Amino acid sequence: MRKSIALISIILFNISCINAQAPGTITDIDGNVYRTVTIGRFVWMAENLRVTKYNNGMMIPIVTNDTMWAELKSGAYCWYDNNEDNRNTYGALYNWYTVSTGDLCPVGWRVPTDEEWKYLEGYADSVYKIGNLIWDKAGLREYNAGKRL
């Protein structure tokens, strides 16, 4: 359970790779097709990333053991509850080593910066708009925006 909770914040990096192109669809190196949507001034993936290879073709190891996961010093992924049936619902959960390579999103796409996440949250939120200082406070950022998204 601890791994699942810790990784939920990481999945946010995977929900929406970002690009400047028009909305439509994007295909990853595994052949998964994702819908895209324009939110504010960015085009986002509208689905959770579920790729098992970096965009250079190198495999990302799957790690299902909690102890091994906690001790990793390299990239890995797993499925929510270590159940591949959750693949399409939740996408894959990636550790920071995987996300920080810059090779996770499809070519031409990238993981959004924290400032871009703040923009998304402010754009989607009905109470705290873009630029509100609430987006700098840990633990409060996802509440209103998460409901709207």
Q: Are residues 27 and 62 in the same domain?
A: yes
pLDDT at residue 129, rounded to an integer: 77
pLDDT at residue 19, rounded to an integer: 67
The burial class, CB within 10 Å (0-12 / 13-18 / 19+), for 9 is exposed
**Cα→Cα distances 18→42, 44, 112, 146, Å:** 7, 5, 6, 18
pLDDT at residue 100, rounded to an integer: 93
Q: Are residues 81 and 102 in the same domain?
A: yes
Q: Are residues 103 and 117 in the same domain?
A: no
Give pLDDT tens digits along the chain (149 positions): 444 433 333 333 444 566 666 668 999 999 999 999 888 888 888 889 999 999 999 999 999 999 999 999 999 999 999 999 999 999 999 999 999 999 999 999 999 888 888 888 888 877 777 777 777 776 665 555 666 66
Phi, psi of 16 (to 5 degrees): -135, 95
- Give this prediction's pTM: 0.77
The 10 Å Cβ neighbour count of residue 56 is 9
Q: Are residues 71 and 90 in the same domain?
A: yes
Rounded Cα gap, residues 34 and 43, in angstroms? 12
Q: Are residues 24 and 84 in the same domain?
A: yes
Rounded Cα gap, residues 95 and 52, in angstroms? 13
Q: Are residues 91 and 146 in the same domain?
A: no
Q: Are residues 141 and 104 in the same domain?
A: no
Q: Are residues 143 and 117 in the same domain?
A: yes
pLDDT at residue 74, rounded to an integer: 96
Q: Are residues 19 and 74 in the same domain?
A: yes
Q: Are residues 93 and 140 in the same domain?
A: no
Residue 144, CA atoms < 13 Å, CB-side half-sphere = 16
Q: Are residues 93 and 136 in the same domain?
A: no
Under 8 Å between Cβ of 40 and 89: no
Find the domain containing 146 and state its range. Answer: 113-149
Q: Are residues 30 and 61 in the same domain?
A: yes
pLDDT at residue 21, rounded to an integer: 60
pLDDT at residue 137, rounded to an integer: 72
